[in-house]
Amino acid sequence: MTAFEVAQKIDISAVRTQHTLHDIEEIVAYAKQYKFINVHVLPSWIKVLAPMIADEPDVYVGAPCGFPSGAATTETKIIEAQQMILDGVEEMDIVMNVGRFKNREYDYVLDELKQIIALKKSYMKTKVLIELNCLEDSELEAACKIVIDSGADFLKTGTGWVPGNANVERIRKIKDIIGNQMKIKAAGGIRTRAEFDELLDIGVERFGINTKSAIEIIKTFE
């Protein structure tokens, strides 16, 4: 696998509360240099980010919807998603309402996701975050079924805001459940080439990795 092929599996981001234009400009420069497939920013920065990478066909505009808790009302999430699309988002990472899910309100969670995903344009991709570190093993099958039924392109393991890293064995369980029905994005605490390789071997197709670690991993493929 080449460094370019690896970079085309990695999303980098500036989605912390304190991130400024300087932080976004910094990760855009890295995305252009290494060709990371996606730059994620918080929704209010989409309009700023989009023109910065408009001339980069291998780099896409990403942002989260309902971030970080997933607990906004459905109506609020829909309005946010609509504005994100108008502003130029190309990949939307939607946070599932984990509290409602854990309350076994599966119809509520699925209906909300379907309404948001129905808004997407043909050029867009959507990912649903299940916040794996908040779920019990006994809840994984139901969570996977909801994400599959939602019509999303990817199941994403988490936001990175909940304590705990991307657990390889639990991600393996997710892969066993969903098979080839949809793609997996692993995020949270992936720091090394060994961790990257192990998740890749499981069948993970996209990774959310902090920029410093992502660059270090890329360099091992050069």
pLDDT in tens, 102-116: 999 999 999 999 999
What is the number of structural domains in the chain? Answer: 1
**pLDDT exceeds cutoff 90 at 163:** no
Annotated catalytic residue 185: yes
Catalytic residue, candidates 9, 93, 120, 153: 93
The pLDDT of residue 119 is 98
Burial class (CB in 10 A: 0-12, 13-18, 19+), 170: middle
**pLDDT exceeds cutoff 90 at 51:** yes
Per-residue confidence at 166, pLDDT binned at 50, 70, 90?
Answer: confident
Q: What percent of the chain has pLDDT over 90?
A: 95
Q: How many CA atoms lie within 13 A of 211 on its CB side?
A: 22
The pLDDT of residue 162 is 82
Catalytic residue, candidates 35, 77, 127, 185: 185
Domain hosting 174: range is 3-219
Coarse DSSP helix, strand, coil percentages of the chain, rounded to the nearest 5 percent: 50, 15, 35
pLDDT tens string 171-201: 999 999 999 999 999 998 899 999 999 999 9
With b for 16 or more beta-carbon neighbours within 10 A and e for fewer, the 91-107 pattern comes to bbbbbbbbebbeeeeee
Annotated catalytic residue 173: no
The pLDDT of residue 9 is 98
**pLDDT exceeds cutoff 90 at 217:** yes
For range 34-47, the mean pLDDT: 98
**pLDDT exceeds cutoff 90 at 165:** no
For range 5-23, the mean pLDDT: 97
Per-residue confidence at 141, pLDDT binned at 50, 70, 90?
Answer: very high
For range 60-77, the mean pLDDT: 97
Domain CATH code at residue 54: 3.20.20.70
The pLDDT of residue 204 is 97
For range 153-163, the mean pLDDT: 90
Annotated catalytic residue 137: no
